[in-house]
């Protein structure tokens, strides 16, 4: 079974530029998550999708970050314009179980390491 | 603010010893707890999860959950140098099932 795929693996941009990350979850997984992991910290949830609907985006900085999951499979996370503090690893994860009190296991992709200069 | 707290470490243990990693959480609504291992430069990989009070064993790993004390732990028996990594504790549940991660504990197993 193929895992969660992400691209690109690395990205270096200047502040105020825009960037987009792509994620393809494990086949059949309806729930998709985007996390931001700053060096030395645990992953922080940015947005959670169930199929193509947003379940939780309470920690997504909506003035600069956007995400979509058209057709309920692949997802794209965009930052525009980027700030220095956006330098982090952006992790995509997927789960086969619908959100609720008892969670399904989340499987992580390799991540995209973003450096903003 | 719902939080999961871990000591960042590093926790250093000799090879063959038992490593004990601890985690506390603030949200009593959390029902699911996960331990992930993250090697430097890599993404988190699941070690095990626990939903019920008590112990759950999987090979060299034992997860412990005490909901009354809001405490989760991971024991690693016969620690190996390959166990050296950052261990992330995560808790979740509630309406959306949002998973909240701790900052991770760095474990160093010395040969």
pLDDT (tens place) for every residue of chain B, 111 residues total: 779 999 988 999 999 999 999 999 998 888 889 999 999 999 999 999 998 899 999 999 999 999 999 999 999 999 999 999 999 999 986 666 688 999 999 999 999
Beta strand ranges found along A1-117 (DSSP E): 5-7, 10-13, 19-24, 31-37, 44-50, 53-56, 65-68, 75-79, 88-95, 107-108, 112-116
CB B92 within 8 A of CB B36: no
H and E: helices and strands count for chain B:
0, 11
Instruction: Tell me the per-residue pLDDT of B81-99, one tens digit each, with 9 for 90 and over.
Output: 999 999 999 998 666 668 8
Is any Cβ of chain A less than 8 angstroms from the Cβ of B91? no
Is any Cβ of chain A less than 8 angstroms from the Cβ of B44? yes
Strand B61-66 to B54-58 pairing: antiparallel
A41 CB neighbour count, 10 Å cutoff: 15
pLDDT at residue number B95: 65
Residues of chain B found within 8 Å of residue A108, distances taken between Cβ atoms = 36, 43-45
pLDDT (tens place) for every residue of chain A, 117 residues total: 689 999 999 999 999 999 999 999 999 898 999 999 999 999 999 999 998 899 999 999 999 999 999 888 999 999 999 999 999 999 999 988 766 656 678 899 999 999 999
| Å between A110 CA and nearest CA of chain B | 5
B72 burial class (0-12, 13-18, 19+ CB within 10 angstroms)?
A: buried
A61 burial class (0-12, 13-18, 19+ CB within 10 angstroms)?
A: middle
């Amino acid at each position: 079974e193929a895992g969660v795929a992400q691209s690109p693996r690395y990205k270096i941009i200047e502040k105020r530029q825009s960037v987009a990350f792509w994620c393809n979850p494990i086949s059949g997984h309806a729930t998709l998550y985007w996390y931001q992991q700053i060096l030395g910290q645990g992953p922080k949830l940015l947005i959670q999708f169930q199929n193509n609907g947003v379940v939780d985006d309470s920690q997504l900085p909506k003035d600069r970050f956007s995400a979509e999951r058209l057709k309920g499979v692949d997802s794209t996370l965009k930052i525009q314009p980027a700030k220095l503090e956006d330098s982090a690893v952006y992790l995509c994860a997927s789960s086969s179980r619908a959100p609720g009190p008892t969670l399904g296991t989340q499987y992580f992709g390799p991540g995209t390491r973003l450096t903003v200069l | 603010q719902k939080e999961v707290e871990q000591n960042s470490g590093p926790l250093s243990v000799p090879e063959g010893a038992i490593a004990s990693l601890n985690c506390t959480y603030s949200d009593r609504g959390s029902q699911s707890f996960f331990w992930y291992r993250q090697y430097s430069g890599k993404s988190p990989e699941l070690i095990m999860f626990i939903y019920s009070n008590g112990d759950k064993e999987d090979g060299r790993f034992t997860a412990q959950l005490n909901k009354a004390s809001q405490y989760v732990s991971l024991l690693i028996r016969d620690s190996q140098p390959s166990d050296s990594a950052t261990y992330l504790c995560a808790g979740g549940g509630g309406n959306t099932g949002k998973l909240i991660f701790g900052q991770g504990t760095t474990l160093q197993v010395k040969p």
